[in-house]
Amino acid sequence: MRPFWLEQALAQENIEPCTALQGETRAQVCIVGGGYTGLWSAIMLKEQSPELDVVLIEADICGAGASGRNGGCALSWSAKYFTLERLFGVEEAVRLVKASEQSIYAIGAFCEKYAVDADYRLDGTLYTATNQAQVGSTDGVIAALERQSINSFSKLPVDEVQRRAGSAQHMEGWFSPAAASVQPGKLVRGLRRVALQLGVKIYENTPMTGLEEGTPAVIRTPAGSIRADRVVLAMNAWMARAFPQFERSVAIVSSDMLITEPRPDLLQEIGLTSGVTVLDSRIFVHYYHNTPDGRIMLGKGGNTFAYGGRMLPVFDQPSPYAGLLSKSLEQFFPAFAGVGVEATWNGPSDRSVTGLPFFGQMSSHGNVFYGFGYSGSGVGPCHMGGQILASLVQGLANDWTRSPLVNGPLGYFPPEPIRYLGSLMVRNAIRRKERAEDHGHRPRHLDVRLARFAAAAGKADKG
Q: What is the C-alpha end-to-end distance of the chain, expressed in Å? A: 20
Per-residue pLDDT of 149-173, as tens digits, reads: 999 999 999 999 999 999 999 999 9
Mean pLDDT, range 99-119, rounded to an integer: 98
> How confident is the model over 241-287, as pLDDT tens digits?
899 999 999 999 999 999 999 999 999 999 999 999 999 999 989 99
Model confidence pLDDT, tens digit, residues 59-68: 999 999 999 9
Q: Which has the closest alpha carbon to 377: 280, 258, 461, 256?
A: 461
Helix (H) or strand (E) holding 425: helix 418-438
Helix axes 90-113, 381-394, angle to 10 degrees: 100
Residue ranges of the alpha helices (H) in 62-115?
A: 81-88, 90-113
* CB count in 10 Å sphere of residue 290: 25
Average pLDDT over residues 380-402: 98
The reported pLDDT for the residue numbered 1 is 78
Report the C-alpha gap between 254 and 424 in whole angstroms.
13
Indicate the CATH number of 4-406 among 3.30.565.10, 3.30.365.10, 3.50.50.60, 1.10.10.10: 3.50.50.60
**Which pLDDT score, from 0 to 100, does residue 460 have?**
42
Annotated domain spans of the chain: 4-406, 418-455
Q: Which helix (H) or strand (E) holds 381?
A: helix 381-394
Identify the CA nearest to 300 among candidates 283, 312, 314, 277. 283
Q: Taking 80 as the threshold, does the pLDDT of residue 462 lie above it?
A: no
**pLDDT at res. 309:** 85
pLDDT of residue 14: 84
- Sequence-distant (6+) residues with CB within 8 A of 329 are 258, 260, 296, 298, 336, 341
What are the tens digits of pLDDT across the range 206-222?
A: 999 999 999 999 999 99
Is pLDDT above 50 for 461?
no
Phi, psi angles (nearest 5°) of residue 172: -165, 155
Mean pLDDT for the chain overall: 96
- pLDDT tens for 113-145 read 999 999 999 999 999 999 999 999 999 999 999
Residue 458 has pLDDT above 80, yes or no: no
Kindly state the average pLDDT of the residues 108-114. 98
List of residues 6+ apart from 91 with CB closer than 8 A: none
- State mean pLDDT over 310-323: 93
How far apart (Å, rounded) are the C-alpha atoms in residues 103 and 215? 33
pLDDT of 455 higher than 80: no
What pLDDT digit, counting tens, does each position of 224-242 carry?
999 999 999 999 999 998 9
Distance CA 396, CA 434 (A): 46
Question: What would you report as the CA-atom Rg of the chain, rounded to the nearest whole angstrom?
Answer: 21
The reported pLDDT for the residue numbered 456 is 59
